Structure 1
């Protein structure tokens, strides 16, 4: 068991969250009980995840996608009321970490996807803060696009959306988990033969064709499962807390 603020401070320190400008508050978003023994982790603080946390008698929920986003409507009504109400009724803490979890060099979403892709010598493409939003690295050997897509699909458990630019084998890859399709031009400018992200927009396919870069959309949810899972496992090992990763299926 640990004090709430000790857990918040521990994660803040790991992820360096206080130094990263974001679109939402990182850290404690909803205050619950002061003592925490059990934590449920998941990608998004959806109603379904919160209900699983209640069933598991969790003291805290730790997610990548929390609440109170920039430009979000402020009234606590409808879906927001139901979600917050469930947390407050059961005295469950909600902690959320967005960009800090995306870019952490070991536990982060990008680091975890890089491991899945099998890239070597991963490094940031962009020099602007926060570093690590767009990553690049090399495969040990040049590999057909179809083989990369098949392996990635098997690991993530979903079908890949693949655009073959007709440029042959892949050795250098750039990637950004989640909704990173807007970085395709920077990926191409960095010399990547393949850009991997979670989502795709209509213009992304035209960009891939015209820039001459292979493209894979592997799913926003699917590419961002692994950071929060890794963070939860680290917390369990370091603090001795009971941690349950709950994956709420999402095809997006």
Structure 2
């Protein structure tokens, strides 16, 4: 079974609706390769290791959350970027990338998939006046202790999170934003949320957690964003019938 790169692009765009999201990079087909596509590799970031793996298994396309051409970076195709793109072009491999549209998709997105893993219910946007909110809120049915949440994150994400504890022995409400979403902790605390989960931590985040009495968990940028692109690949395989392989390139950050 195969599809053209334009058919895959059409499905992805109709599903993720990138035109509705203001982002820091182009979403969609970033590097054009061969058509038809028989085998698709999915992964978090279009690193050289992921590209090399795609080459080794004769993949025709790669789909990632973190692609190329970010705003503010040099537009020059040199060094590491040259090697990556040269490999894609030499092997005629398509590169598809979706950043914020994949974070916020209501069922396949990174936030939705993390909530599914952790058993969070009653999910709504934390930014209620923003339909494209990248930070969500919900509840743990019956509540959970801070230690239990640490263990849950460790077990589900296979990574021990950094936990800054608050003066609350039970967590009922939780807000989260996968990846680099630590800046939303203050908003979560202002809304009286018991705990905030994201991927990364900044120096000031710890002070905010302490002074605003909110449990804070930094569970890893990569670890919290594995599951959206994996779910998206499984959806593509089901809808289009092409072989899809999720490749997890380890990253401790």
Instruction: Return the alpha-carbon distance in structure 2 between the equivalents of residues 18 and 3 of structure 1.
Output: 22
Instruction: Return the alpha-carbon distance in structure 2 between the equivalents of residues 132 and 61 of structure 1.
Output: 27
Aligned to 2:20: 19
Q: TM-score, normalised by structure 1?
A: 0.98
Q: How far apart are 1:53 and its partner, in Å?
A: 0.3
Aligned to 1:119: 120
Within 5 Å, give how 1:213-224 maps onto structure 2. Answer: 213-224=214-225
Quote the RMSD (CA, aligned, Å). Answer: 0.9
What SS does structure 1 have at the residue aligned with 2:112? helix
Aligned to 2:54: 53
Q: How far apart are 1:151 and its partner, in Å?
A: 1.2
Q: How far apart are 1:128 and its partner, in Å?
A: 4.9
| 1:32–1:94 Cα contact (<8 Å) kept | yes
Q: How far apart are 1:18 and its partner, in Å?
A: 1.6
What SS does structure 2 have at the residue aligned with 1:228? helix
Instruction: Return the alpha-carbon distance in structure 1 between the equivalents of residues 208 and 126 of structure 2.
Output: 18
What SS does structure 2 have at the residue aligned with 1:35? coil
Aligned to 2:230: 229
Within 5 Å, give how 1:81-230 maps onto structure 2. Answer: 81-129=82-130, 131-230=132-231
Structure 1 position 39 matched with structure 2 position 40: yes
The change in CA–CA distance for 1:33 and 1:130 in structure 2 (over 3 A counts) is: farther
Structure 1 position 76 matched with structure 2 position 46: no
Instruction: Return the alpha-carbon distance in structure 2 between the equivalents of residues 151 and 142 of structure 1.
Output: 13
What SS does structure 2 have at the residue aligned with 1:133? coil
Runs of 4+ off more than 3 Å: 127-130
Q: TM-score, normalised by structure 2?
A: 0.98
1:172-192: CA deviations, max 9, x gaps?
A: 000000000000011112221
| 2:143–2:172 Cα contact (<8 Å) kept | yes
Q: List alignment gaps of at least 5 residues for structure 1.
A: none
1:49-91: CA deviations, max 9, x gaps?
A: 0000001111000000000000111111110010000000000
Instruction: Return the alpha-carbon distance in structure 1 between the equivalents of residues 187 and 107 of structure 2.
Output: 23
| 1:3–1:35 Cα contact (<8 Å) kept | yes
Q: List alignment gaps of at least 5 residues for structure 2.
A: none
| 2:165–2:215 Cα contact (<8 Å) kept | yes
| 2:21–2:132 Cα contact (<8 Å) kept | no
The change in CA–CA distance for 1:129 and 1:28 in structure 2 (over 3 A counts) is: farther
What SS does structure 2 have at the residue aligned with 1:147? helix
| 2:138–2:173 Cα contact (<8 Å) kept | yes
